[in-house]
Structure 1
């Protein structure tokens, strides 16, 4: 059985102590930190202990309206609209520098608020967030239109046409971010939006707002003009919906569940037909071929689903393995899961922390229990551990079929389902038997099959002999019901631009 370390160990938050000890965190509108207008607050909780970390101002539609007004004013101001690309680039790079100077504080806040192991925050996610700002500081200076030689045949005699395109910031952007990897996923929206010259109203997830507050402080310190970035914390159903419906918001960039994404899209359509970018749910397959190197594949498959407790949009939650190696692979992954050390994220020995909230852990557990009632087989794990109610064992479920919710729906926890195949066509069919198309991985030593299978999988990202490989230069985004648009890479900044064509008779 997976071990759960006691929370009685000394857990250090030295770097984040000053931020936490200052008390209630505030809303940021037009360059000023303010309480909620009606004084409302909510509490953010450490999922590893159940203890309250901080109180946070709980915004409403009134604060959203003022934040949008501030963002619109800043968008049209000379200070931001006419800032040279090099100016925006310098600010983005300065944000990255300040984040780097405060990396230990940001890492501790992320771990305390979300639950993930500190090494994940410190060595993967916070550096990834920093790199987003560094990468897009370079992209800010590469935004360009083009000249076009047109073939218009009816211009006046002895005249020529001169045509060109120009790219403008799309406008006021509402960025609605999730709780699973809060800071890096926020950076993936803010950095390209700022590089494009947009202004922003940021609404972070209620469970994990602390690093968003700290990031906005850093943006202010880096010299962003007042109103360019605004932060309103609080309920998604209230202020998230208000942003999606707001007639003066030009675009919503949302990361979260497909269910909520549908509501965002509907609200955008019912209001001002604002542009929408959504990165939604996933049910990513991992195909393991008979020639796979199991020394590489076993830990790779395990980490693809157990990393961050499976709370990853692209988690490899469906194992599709060749019959000839299925027993050996499944036992290897199960053993890997059983040997993982679970505990508070700040404990340096922890390999897997708690899930973000007790209610979410109970939802994950219910998927497993319902599958067993429907005839699935529990291979390993399956239990909640600890007093906080947030710790879920690394779990493997076999004998699943395509009609089970655990096979079709995003569980968003450390739960791996197993399907067995005998030929490539069957493997690809199983992989594509999903409403989602966010990512997939293929484990094989056979180059001849690699590109054939990768080309056949309906997903926006395919990894080979790896999973969860991210880089600021690599675009990521979903097919099917996993979303619209790309984040990271040069494509990302295009999401925050609108094009204008100009034709002149000379």
Structure 2
């Protein structure tokens, strides 16, 4: 992977202006059956740049008619096309080719993602692009390792029992606006490695990287109909995809409220399979023996990542009482050092929020908690000027019923509470588990007994200890109202397969 330091050309202002000009000139189009075409309605939606609030591009406003065409194309490609019949090595080769094409265009893709979603170029190059490429290449490797099982049987059984894993069929992939490039690649790579065909419905607030991925899929030779992209609103295109009776699985990342509607649509249509990665309100537990400097820096860096619009971000901080002030002092200092500005500028540490509506929601939650008695140590306001910028925010003196402690703010805002020095592990875990969500939990402690004791007690799909580390691709997903099912690695791949049992007599 090319080091981020070698990608300084990404900050070329003239190239950014040229990209923006080209986006304004592109006609709105959907990718259906290997061709770019206008929406059935001929209508378009405006996409604004969160960095300045100005128009960035127009996309086709797809609806149920376009979803019907895309699903039909995906079904034809699955039943009659070459994709599910290709040798696994060939599918793997095409996924590797797509990864190579994306890597060659990483600078343009990073600029596109920064303009469209508002994130810093640094975070995209080091995070989203690197993780997306890893996901593609990881799933390319898994394409040749999809296998069933043959139970041991006696030599004279006179029969054979085994089961196969086959591609589930047509996959509907509904992706979010907070990590549009990465989420499209992670879901698409798993679906294609399994031999499925796909219809992608990207978030209307940040759909441009998905469209560019579609172009690259065609360029590297992925057959027509295997990858289809229908832009549009969730109400028009997303709902139609979730309800469609010829879609076999929907993989969705987004809010819990929309996840519920997708689950209902799946139940009321054809009982399609679903994988839901939903909201989070991740707790951070900091004990007195932790490295407070590292903990504070990591907590603030995570809540600044994507301007706090990150489902697994640790936003509820519970700190042992004896180090409460020391940790808060360090977190406040780390927030003071954050430079907030357009994501395409080299000196920006944190970009804007995605939209005015998202910023207003965050302001409302912070304001409601302050009115209920929370203490605002810093931030809590919208930054003046164009774009949707929000001050890094630190709240303390919160009670468990305040909105900032219960709702997913999806903004660069931390809510801090404390636990008694002599609190038991059960008591600390009860604080962390006091949430409708269970996506991720963060733990800072050096004592092995504390670490292992809490890992078992935390109701969460993921536990990150002392900042985490390692190189393994682990399953990702949540419990409770953070959804169900897992993405990444062979566990994520298995969601796109169906089991067929065979009892073979002679």
Q: Give the TM-score taking structure 2 as reference length.
A: 0.94
What is residue 222 of structure 2 aligned with on the other side? Answer: 224
Deviations along 1:249-278, one digit per CA (max 9) or x if unpaired, are 111100000000000000110111111110
Q: Residues 159 and 505 of structure 1 are in contact (CA less than 8 Å); yes or no, is this contact kept in structure 2?
A: no
Distance 1:38 1:98 in 2: 33
- In structure 1, the partner of 2:441 is 440
Deviations 1:320-352 (CA, angstroms, capped at 9, x unpaired): 100010001011101111221100111100001
Question: Equivalent residue for 2:429?
Answer: 428
Give 1:276-287 correspondences, 5 Å limit: 276-287=274-285
Match of 1:76 in 2: 79
Structure 1 unmatched ranges of 5 or more:
1-8, 152-157
Instruction: Give me the whole-angstrom Cα distance separating, in 2, the residues matched to 1:94 and 1:18.
Output: 29
Deviations 1:2-56 (A, max 9, x none): xxxxxxx957516845852542241000000011122100111111111111111
Greater mean deviation of Cα atoms: 77-86 or 494-503: 77-86
Q: Is the 8 A contact 1:460 1:478 kept in 2?
A: yes
Per-residue CA shift, 1:399-456, capped at 9, x if unaligned?
2112122211111111111110122332211101111110011111222211111121
8 A contact 1:30–1:226 mirrored in 2: yes
Looking at structure 2, the residues matched to 302 and 40 of structure 1 have their Cα atoms a distance apart, in angstroms, of: 42
1:119-153 alpha-carbon deviations (Å, 9 max, x no partner): 111121111111111110000000011112369xx
Q: Does 1:27 align with 2:30?
A: yes
TM-score of the pair, normalised by structure 1: 0.94
Instruction: Say if 1:84 and 1:436 are closer, same or farther in 2 by CA, change over 3 A.
Output: same
Matched residue, 1:49? 52
Q: Which residue matches 2:464?
A: 463
* 2:31 and 2:230 in contact (8 A); partners too: yes
Structure 1 segment 121-270 matched on structure 2, within 5 A: 121-149=124-152, 160-270=158-268
> Secondary structure of the residue that 1:309 maps to in structure 2?
helix
Aligned partner of 1:4 in structure 2 is none
Structure 2 residues not aligned, in runs of 5+: 1-11
CA distance in 2, matches of 1:421, 1:361: 31
The answer for the alignment partner of 1:87 in structure 2 is 90
* Distance in 2 separating the partners of 1:23 and 1:68: 25
For residues 349-393 of structure 1, give each alpha carbon's deviation from its aligned partner in whole angstroms, at most 9, with x where no partner exists: 000100000110010011000001111111211110022351111
Q: Is the 8 A contact 1:148 1:163 kept in 2?
A: yes
Which range moved further: 381-390 or 437-446?
381-390
- The total of aligned residue pairs comes to 492
1:302 and 1:11 map into 2 onto residues whose CA distance is 32
The corresponding residue for 1:154 is: none
Q: 1:40 to 1:140 in 2, by over 3 A?
A: same
Question: Contact conserved, 1:176 with 1:202, CA < 8 A, in 2?
Answer: yes
User: Alignment partner of 1:119: what SS?
Assistant: helix
Q: Please, what is the CA RMSD of the aligned residues?
A: 1.8
Judging changes above 3 Å, is the alpha-carbon distance between structure 1 residues 470 and 70 closer, same or farther for their aligned structure 2 residues? farther
CA displacement at 1:496 relative to structure 2: 0.2
Aligned mates of 1:418, 1:193 — CA distance in 2:
40
Q: In the alignment, is the contact (CA less than 8 A) between 1:382 and 1:395 conserved in 2?
A: yes
> Are the aligned partners of 2:28 and 2:44 in contact in 1 as well (CA < 8 Å)?
no
